[in-house]
Amino acid sequence: MSVCAQSTARVVRVKDGDTYVLADGSNTFTARLLKIDAPELKQKSGMEAYRFVNGTIAGKMVGYTGTAKDRYGRTLVSITINGLRLDSLIIRNGWAWHYLNYDNETMLDNAMQQAISDSLGLWACGNASVCPPWLYRGYNAKNKIRYCKGCSL
C-alpha cells in the first residue's frame, strides 16, 4: 500500500494498545498504529493500555491513512478520531511510548515527557519502573521477571 488520502473505517476490534482490526466497507484488515509502541497485553500495564484504547475507539468510525505493510502483514496507519490524533491521545494519557526508533516528531516526544512528568498511565511510578515493549519482546521468561516487574501501585 502506498501513501494515500485519508479514508474512514469502523474499529471492529482492538487487539492491544497499538493494533486494531478495521473495516473499510467490505475490506477488513489488521492495522498497526505508527509512531507508538504500547505495552504487550501480558506485560505490566498492557491490559490497562488496551482498556484505554478500547474505550476510546472500539466500534467507532475513525479516519486513517495507511502507509505500508509491516513484516506481519499489518497495515501501518495513522488514525484520527473526532479530529484528534490517536497516537497523541494514547501517549499523552501515558499508555505508550513514542517509538523514537521510527519517528522523531517533537510533538509526540513532548506529549510523552508530559505524561511522565504527570505520572500518568504506565508512568505512575516514574520512568525507572517501566520496561519498553521492544525490550520485553526480546527477553526470555527469566529476564522478563527480572527487568519488567513494573511498579506495584
> pLDDT by residue (tens digit) across 48-92?
999 999 999 999 999 999 989 999 999 999 999 999 999 999 999
Residue 59: give its domain's CATH number: 2.40.50.90
pLDDT at 26: 92
3-state secondary structure of 95: coil
Specify if 153 maps to a domain: no
pLDDT, residue 103, reads 86
Distance, CA of 4 to chain centre: 21
Pairing of strands 27-33, 75-81: parallel
Structural domain boundaries enclosing 38: 7-147
Catalytic residue among 48, 51, 71, 74: 74
| Residue 121 covered by a domain | yes
Close Cβ partners of 127 (under 8 Å, ≥ 6 residues apart): 116
Q: Which of 10, 13, 32, 146 is catalytic?
A: 32
The answer to whether position 27 is within a domain reads yes
Active-site option among 40, 48, 51, 137: 40
- In order of 6, 26, 53, the CA distances from 99 in angstroms are 22, 31, 17
Whether residue 94 lies inside any domain: the answer is yes
In the annotation, is 74 catalytic?
yes
The answer to whether 7 touches 17, Cβ cutoff 8 Å, is: no
**In this structure, is residue 2 part of a structural domain?**
no
* Residue 95 grid coordinates: 499508555
Evaluate whether residue 88 is within a structural domain: yes
Q: Is 105 a catalytic residue?
A: no
Does residue 141 come out as left (phi exceeding 0), alpha (psi in the -120 to 50 range) or beta?
A: alpha
- For the chain, what is the domain count? 1
**Is 40 an active-site residue?**
yes
